[in-house]
Amino acid sequence: MNTYWKRYGGPGYKLVEQAEETIARYNMLSGGETVVVGVSGGPDSVCLLDVLARIGEKQELDLLVAHVDHGLSEDASNVAAQVSKRAAEQGYDVHLARAPDLEGPNLHARARDFRYEFLQIVAEREGADAIATAHTLDDRVETTLARLIHGAGTEGLAGLPPIEGVRIRPLIGCRRAETRAYCIECELEFYDDPANEDLRFERPAVRSNVVAPIESHWGEGAVRSIARSSERLREDATALTGLAERLYPGIVTESEEGLAIELEPVRALPRALRRRLLEQAVGRVRDRSGGIEAVLDALDSPGTAPERRFSIASGIEMVLGEQKIVVSKLNATDG
């Protein structure tokens, strides 16, 4: 394992302190936890594992290493072998998975979903308290800008949160250049994935064509400013969602037709809260936003028909009547 001076000072310790501040600020860890660390072999995750090892000496953390071989490059199997070998030599329990064939549309999204699922399985099997991933401030900014391009709402524009369920992101306040510099300074081996430079994929395209020009023109502080905006959007989104959850039981009831939403109290609310109430009634279904926006528009423009019907997503329909909105699931035979 690392030597004493490396754990409590010496090369890279400024970044260790920065990660400690992030962990404390968001109450990610209190000490004594078992943490599954996702290690891809890239500089961010190699940095994360080393930083948590140094912090773990103080907080008595038990770290487990998990790696997914996505098979998306010629070196993938060699990288998996090297990650496993180095982690085992350092005394970590290593959990390795080989992803199925992921070729096709939304490749990166499906690879991410498989990776998160595997990390969750490892955490549950090992009784871990948290899953640490190596997302940086750059990842947060790139996510915000990518979602802005696609017209996301407040939650989407908030980007990557520091904590998401059992997943924690101790490096969310660090720049990607800082994690690379840390690895070089501490003489840690890492692998550069060529997919990170492939402009066919959205994240590298946003990084190269959007973030890089912003930083070139306005400086490094502009990137950190976008990250601060993401954080404020997260705070606002959390507050509005919490308020909608408090209002929901008094406005929404179950009926034989489905969920019934009283129209009068809904009309008294601002559009942002109306949207969140309707989203909560529908649940987390894909591509729901267009249908919900249509209902919101209808609420702002009285119609002559006693009922107006709106298709939401996944076979869900909203019927806007004179006194309530009914949310129901259509049967396969319904037209």
Report percent pLDDT > 90 for the chain: 69
Which amino acid appears at position 220 of this protein? E
Q: How does pLDDT run across 201-245, given as a tens digit for each residue?
A: 888 999 999 999 999 999 999 999 999 999 999 999 999 999 999
pLDDT at 174 over 90: yes
pLDDT at 269: 95
How would you list the strands of the sheet with 316-320, edge to edge?
A: 252-254, 259-262, 324-329, 316-320, 308-311
pLDDT at 294 over 60: yes
The 3-state DSSP composition of the chain as helix, strand, coil percent (nearest 5) reads 55, 15, 35
pLDDT at 325: 92
Question: Mean pLDDT over residues 158-173, rounded?
Answer: 95
pLDDT at 289 over 90: no
pLDDT at 3: 47
- On whether the CB atoms of residues 84 and 94 are closer than 8 A, the answer is yes
According to DSSP, residue 331 is labeled: P
- The structural domains of the chain, ordered by start, are 4-234 (3.40.50.620), 255-329 (3.30.465.60)
Q: How does pLDDT run across 11-64, given as a tens digit for each residue?
A: 899 999 999 999 999 999 999 999 999 999 999 999 999 999 999 999 999 999
pLDDT at 334 over 80: no
pLDDT band at 2 (very low <50, low <70, confident <90, very high): very low
Residue 74's CB is within 10 A of a number of other CB atoms, namely 8
pLDDT at 105: 62
pLDDT at 257: 75
Q: How does pLDDT run across 300-333, given as a tens digit for each residue?
A: 887 667 789 998 887 899 999 989 999 988 764 4
pLDDT at 4 over 60: no
pLDDT at 314: 78
pLDDT at 125 over 50: yes
pLDDT at 138: 97
pLDDT at 258: 85
Task: Note the Cα 73 to chain centre separation in Å.
Answer: 24
Q: How does pLDDT run across 96-110, given as a tens digit for each residue?
A: 998 887 666 677 778
Question: Mean pLDDT over residues 164-181, rounded?
Answer: 97
Residue 251's CB is within 10 A of a number of other CB atoms, namely 19
pLDDT at 208: 95
pLDDT at 295: 92
- On whether the CB atoms of residues 210 and 141 are closer than 8 A, the answer is no
The mean of the pLDDT values for the chain is 90
